[in-house]
Copies of this chain bind each other. A is one copy, B any other.
């Protein structure tokens, strides 16, 4: 067990309140005054979750987006955010950050309600924290509700942000759309809200499709099978990386997608596809749940060995080591 896993296990032993959902969900869910208050808190650290050269305004957007993505996965609508900000004596950087924050708050209709600023040494990495609050009047999907026989779905396209990061690191050539997916992800708030009553389980894909799907199966006590050939890829991704199994595996393990991963019974398939049409957002069937446990990988029907790394696990991820858990 890694040091971080040990730490998380120790914290879980303190988190017996039902609203904590065992620190194993995307967010805490607290029944309050006839509604469900959904609360999430994620931090971004310079050099870990964003690159020192990323535009400050984009970092503000990402800070908001990664937290709102957790609300989206629980079907919640944002009611406000609190921000923790580290000052390092760089007024131009700070001003550009605030300008981006204003755009993002407005785009997602999430008012700034409070927070804290702290001064940090000039050589310390910038550390940004955000707490997002949302409400969900309807059911709040967990990660544990998938049942054998359910279909596994993902929204949008996968792998774009990972490709964008590789472009920024000089490891890959590709279009600006991929970099944009890395720097300014879109939380699927409307889709999450509309899907919540239709799904058995839902989470956002932040650490990589394979690792997050394994978590969904693990929490639900079911086996998961994914066919890489069905994983939805964007044209920009296909141009940059092609369509062979290594490219598909890269997409499925890259992380930072902020798409929705959800389980639906076969009876819901028509409703889910109709919603996809209505929203103009692809929902793609990429696999299924079965009795048992573990993750099985196929490539167009042919079994494929699991890669050594399913995604990001130990706080080294572009974002979030253990979603929803401290």
Within 8 A of B (CB), among A86-106: 86-87, 89, 91, 94-95, 98, 101-102, 105
A321 lies within 8 A of B119 (CB): yes
Does A20 make an interface contact (CB < 8 A)? yes
Given that A112-B17, A114-B20 are contacting pairs, would A84 and B30 also be in contact in the complex, using a CB cutoff of 8 Å?
no
* Distance in angstroms between the alpha carbons of A82 and B44 in the assembled complex: 15
Tallying the copies of this chain within the complex gives 2
Cβ of A89: which chain B residues have Cβ within 8 Å of it? 3
* Distance in angstroms between the alpha carbons of A316 and B118 in the assembled complex: 8
Given that A41-B131, A118-B321, A316-B119 are contacting pairs, would A113 and B17 also be in contact in the complex, using a CB cutoff of 8 Å?
yes
Closest beta carbon of chain B to A271's beta carbon, Å? 29
Give the interface residue-count category, chain A: 35 or more
Cβ of A316: which chain B residues have Cβ within 8 Å of it? 119
Closest beta carbon of chain B to A159's beta carbon, Å? 23
Mark contacts of A46-88 with chain B using CB atoms, 8 A cut-off: 1 yes-contact digit, 0 otherwise.
Answer: 0111000000000000000000000000000001101111110
Which listed residue (B3, B37, B48, B94) contacts A7, Cβ 8 A?
A: B94
* Distance in angstroms between the alpha carbons of A16 and B112 in the assembled complex: 8
Which listed residue (B47, B116, B121) contacts A43, Cβ 8 A?
A: B116
Interface of A is mostly: mixed
Choose the segment among A122-130, A249-257, A303-311 that binds chain B (4+ C-beta atoms closer than 8 Å): A122-130
* Distance in angstroms between the alpha carbons of A121 and B15 in the assembled complex: 27
A47 lies within 8 A of B14 (CB): no
* Distance in angstroms between the alpha carbons of A94 and B4 in the assembled complex: 9
A115 lies within 8 A of B325 (CB): yes
Does A281 make an interface contact (CB < 8 A)? no
A32 lies within 8 A of B30 (CB): no
Does A8 make an interface contact (CB < 8 A)? yes
* Distance in angstroms between the alpha carbons of A260 and B37 in the assembled complex: 29
Which listed residue (B41, B82, B118) contacts A116, Cβ 8 A?
A: B41
Which listed residue (B27, B105, B129) contacts A41, Cβ 8 A?
A: B129
Of the listed residues A82, A113, A119, the one surrounded by the most CB atoms of chain B closer than 10 A to its CB is A113
Cβ of A8: which chain B residues have Cβ within 8 Å of it? 117
Can you list 15 A-B pairs with a CB-CB distance of less than 8 A? A7-B85, A8-B117, A10-B98, A14-B112, A15-B113, A20-B80, A23-B114, A32-B33, A32-B37, A41-B129, A43-B129, A45-B118, A116-B321, A124-B124, A129-B129
* Residues of chain A whose beta carbon lies under 8 Å from any beta carbon of chain B: 3-4, 6-8, 10-11, 14-17, 19-21, 23, 27-28, 30, 32-35, 37, 39-45, 47-49, 79-80, 82-87, 89, 91, 94-95, 98, 101-102, 105, 111-121, 124-125, 127, 129, 131, 133, 135, 314-316, 320-322, 324-326
